[in-house]
């Protein structure tokens, strides 16, 4: 069955407009168990991690684009990277991001951005994520897929067809995408009715289905998703919509609808595609709980960004390489947010732990550690 067929897109639309009882992970769940242990695995199965996503997962690809400037990509300038790397790497944080820790727990090296010059060992995987990426035509999903096809060809040339197939089959494809698509929609239609929101979600989910089918056809079998976070609570979105007293509810509504549909779609994929396994990390409620109860997680400030200017210090972190004024907090460890849209390294660590080995009420039906342990014949 071709999951990207018209009939499947119709199925997605039907499921959204006729809600059924979806399996959803618990609200405000908090996983506290030890979760950073790495896995033991049979050496005949080479582990690899391929990362697809937007700025939350980007390791620096956009910094290698032609004619890039700090105005277009703030993360290539100071103070991004200040905590761990001590220089900007193109990651939108003060230090490491979630995929860096997932690679560490899997006993893999820190994955370089695909566009970084020089030799790559794609048997470990690669990071294709790019700031601004999404699943709609406007957010250019074909770029990452094109990179993945090139990696597949490279693996076939290096290892031969059979071993390359095994690497791709046993790899985990970590995906965090969709936010930029909803930001665009909400910018155009901030007063959209629920019916229009559902249509927008159906289009995003339909395009995501096509992308998943293509990755599956190229050999991917294990898919780990970070669902959409509370998009309307991001400080930068609150700033641009002047939402001083609370979150932008229209954006949160889109994220919630997306997450409900994502569960349905992945269940359907699992039932139809041989060997398809998946994980969903409930990023929405995990982040929401930190926003509501920052002290519970060791933060003194979950409202403002550490770096930036304006309402919630949510814009212009780095001041376009120092050409514009901006403020920087005294201790980044006190903050949930580094800039107006991205969390601090100290916030990323427990999120990565939850993705890696969180319990089923937070990350399921498998966590990523369990996905790696699944040996597909």
For 253-303, the pLDDT digits (tens) are 999 999 999 999 999 999 999 999 999 999 999 999 999 999 999 999 999
Q: Name the pLDDT band for 142 (thresholds 50, 70, 90).
A: low
Q: Torsion over CA of 340, 59, 172 and 180, rounded to 10 degrees?
A: 40
The rounded mean pLDDT for the chain is 89
CB 254 within 8 A of CB 189: no
CB 374 within 8 A of CB 41: no
3-state secondary structure of 53: strand
- CA-nearest of 366, 352, 347 to 98 is 352
Percent over 70 (pLDDT), the chain: 87
**Token pair of 329, please?**
């907090």
The residues annotated as belonging to the active site are 55, 339, 342
**Residues 279, 9, 57, CA angle at the centre, nearest 5°?**
40
Tell me how far apart the alpha carbons of residues 138 and 154 are, in angstroms, rounded to a whole number: 28
Task: Indicate the helix (H) or strand (E) that contains 307.
Answer: strand 307-308
Residue 320 φ/ψ, nearest 5 degrees: 50, 60
3-state secondary structure of 113: strand
For residue 12, the model assigns a pLDDT of 43
Determine the average pLDDT of the residues in 28-37. 38
Packing angle, helices 194-217 and 249-272, rounded to 10 = 40
**Residues 324, 327, 333, CA angle at the centre, nearest 5°?**
140
- CA-nearest of 145, 264, 162, 275 to 221 is 275
For residue 1, the model assigns a pLDDT of 42
- CA-nearest of 289, 280, 271 to 347 is 289
């Amino acid at each position: 069955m071709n999951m990207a067929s018209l009939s499947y897109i119709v199925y997605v639309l039907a499921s959204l407009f006729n809600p059924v009882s979806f399996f959803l992970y618990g609200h405000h769940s908090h996983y506290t168990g030890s979760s950073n242990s790495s896995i033991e695995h049979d050496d005949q199965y080479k582990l690899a991690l391929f990362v697809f996503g937007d700025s939350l997962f980007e390791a620096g690809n956009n910094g290698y684009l032609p004619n890039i400037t700090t105005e277009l990509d703030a993360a290539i300038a100071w103070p991004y990277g200040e905590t761990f790397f001590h220089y900007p790497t193109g990651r939108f944080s003060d230090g490491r991001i979630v995929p860096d820790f997932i690679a560490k727990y899997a006993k893999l090296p820190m994955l370089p951005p695909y566009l970084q010059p020089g030799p790559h060992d794609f048997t470990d995987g690669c990071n294709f994520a790019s700031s601004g990426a999404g699943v709609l035509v406007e957010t250019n999903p074909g770029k990452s897929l094109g990179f993945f096809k090139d990696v597949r060809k490279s693996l076939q040339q290096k290892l031969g067809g059979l071993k390359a197939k095994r690497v791709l089959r046993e790899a985990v494809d970590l995906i965090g995408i969709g936010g930029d698509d909803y930001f665009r929609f909400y910018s155009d239609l901030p007063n959209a009715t629920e019916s229009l929101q559902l249509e927008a979600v159906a289009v995003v989910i339909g395009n995501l289905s096509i992308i998943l089918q293509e990755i599956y056809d190229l050999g991917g079998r294990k898919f780990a998703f970070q669902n959409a976070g509370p998009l309307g609570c991001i400080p930068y979105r609150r700033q641009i919509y002047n939402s001083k007293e609370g979150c932008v509810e229209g954006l949160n509504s889109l994220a919630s609808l997306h997450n409900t549909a994502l569960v349905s779609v992945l269940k359907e994929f699992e039932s139809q595609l041989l060997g398809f396994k998946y994980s969903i990390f409930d990023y929405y409620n995990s982040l929401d709980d930190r926003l509501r109860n920052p002290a519970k997680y060791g933060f003194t400030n979950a409202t403002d960004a550490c770096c930036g200017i304006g309402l919630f210090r949510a814009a212009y972190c780095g001041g376009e390489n120092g050409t514009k004024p901006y403020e920087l907090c005294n201790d980044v460890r006190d903050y949930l947010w580094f800039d107006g849209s991205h969390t601090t390294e100290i916030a990323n660590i427990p999120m990565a732990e939850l993705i890696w080995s969180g319990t089923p009420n937070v990350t399921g039906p498998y966590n990523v550690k369990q996905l790696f342990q699944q040996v597909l014949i």
